[in-house]
Amino acid sequence: MLYREALNKALDEMMEKDESVVILGEDVGFYGGNYKVTEGLYAKYGGKRVIDTPIAENSIVGTAIGMAIGGLRPVAEIMTVNFSLLAMDQIVNQLAKIRYMSGGKITLPVVVRMPQGVAKQLAAQHSQSLERIFASVPGLRVFVASDATTAYYGLKFAVSIDDPVIFLEHELLYHEKMEIEEEKNFSPYRARIKKEGDGITIVSYLKMFHDTMKAVPTVEKELGVSCEVIDLCSINPLDVSTIANSVKKTKHLVVVTEEPKTGAYADEIIYRVIEDTFYELDAPPLKICGEDVPTPYNRKLELMSIPTPEKIATEIIKWGKKHGI
């Protein structure tokens, strides 16, 4: 199975179960989705439930809000997170605030799905990670899906709750082969410990989770300690306790995200965790992020602008040696 097929399966099952679930976005219907996430759903459910929209991101989210007011459970697809910047009024001023401003009288069960991150040579306007923006807006749940399991269960969870959810995927994961592991009582609010260890806690999500896992054998070999790798399924809310409990055991915290380093969401993770664990840390936390540059087109420069498995390993080893791990 491919990552995108896990998302498709989640959508299909939710649509099958509940007629109020509809999908809308650019090319989602007849065309089958630009990343094929909605492939086959138009044929199965028809154009009234898999709704093709014009290129009007603001109104894709805006009409999804109206649909929710009218009794539906819309799943809006913004083709990539880069275009969500055109929908920021509807996401930030409307979707996130209407429930509160109405004193709880209006609920908006809207999911806005979109891929983010650096893919391959798409240049600066198609290569951003914007989770920090969404995570900092009260009123939005922000879920991230690193693999087929969290894509499948996380998206089903997002569609089933009555709160607005920003559901972030990664462009380079869509065509990755992976399987859905059966999970009972899945909750995106719980971070997943994907690899146990007792020397260093490493937190990441989306593609950086996979790159971290690739870096770990080198790190463990070089530093002679085991790493505990935590994958987040939600960044707002953030499961601080799972990370903090791990850090209390390992005494070391590393956070890896793809976004540019200034004002990164990684900062928030580190701060929230060290509030609880400051006196138990044996070293300052390490933050590994992208560079503060618009993503370059040139492949060599592009790879220099983001963490890669090699860079993650190198940075952790350097930091580990400096602090006596």
Partner 1 sequence: MNKSYAEQFYYLMKLGRVFELRAKEEYMKGNIGGFLHLAIGEEAVHVGAVLGFGKGDIFVHYREHVYALARGMEPKNVMAELFGKVTGVSKGKGGSMHLYDPKFNFYGGNAIVGAHLPHAVGTAYARKYLGDTTGVLAAFGDGATNSGNFFEAINLAATWKVPVLFLCENNYYAIGTRIDRASPFTDLYIKAKEYMPVKQVDGMDVFAVFEAVREAKEYIETEGKPYFIEALTYRYEPHSMSDTGDYRSPRELKIAKERDPIEHLKRVGIERGLLTEEYINFVDNKVEQIVEEAVRFALESPEPGEEELYNDVFCEVCTDVIS
Q: Is 281 in the site for partner 1 (CB under 8 A)?
A: no
Of residues 99, 156, 195, 261, which one binds partner 1 by CB under 8 A?
99
Site for partner 1 in 64-83 (CB under 8 A): 64-72, 74
- Residue 246 has phi, psi (to 5 degrees) of -65, -45
Structure tokens at 100: 């509160």
Of residues 26, 29, 38, 53, which one binds partner 1 by CB under 8 A?
53
Min dist CB 188 to partner 1, Å, is: 9
Q: Is 204 in the site for partner 1 (CB under 8 A)?
A: no
* Residue 215 zone, left/alpha/beta (φ > 0; ψ -120 to 50; rest): alpha
Q: Is 123 in the site for partner 1 (CB under 8 A)?
A: no
First to last CA, the chain: 39
Q: Is 324 in the site for partner 1 (CB under 8 A)?
A: no
Are β-strands 227-231 and 192-195 bridged in parallel, bridged antiparallel, or unpaired? Answer: antiparallel
Q: Which is nearer to partner 1, 46 or 224 (CB)?
A: 46
Q: Is 190 in the site for partner 1 (CB under 8 A)?
A: yes
Min dist CB 54 to partner 1, Å, is: 6
Q: Is 113 in the site for partner 1 (CB under 8 A)?
A: no
Distance CA 22, CA 50 (A): 6
Distance CA 94, CA 315 (A): 41
List helix spans (H) across the chain. Answer: 3-17, 41-45, 57-69, 88, 98-101, 131-135, 148-160, 207-223, 240-250, 265-277, 299-305, 309-322
Of residues 5, 77, 231, 239, which one binds partner 1 by CB under 8 A?
239
Of residues 31, 43, 44, 101, which one binds partner 1 by CB under 8 A?
101
Contact indicator for 228, 201 with CB cutoff of 8 Å: yes
Q: Judge whether 57 counts as a catalytic residue.
A: yes
Would you tell me which residues interact with partner 1 (CB under 8 A)?
A: 20, 22, 48, 51, 53-54, 56, 58-59, 61-72, 74, 89-90, 93-94, 98-107, 138-139, 141, 161-163, 187, 189-190, 234, 237-241, 272
Q: Which residues are catalytic?
A: 57, 126
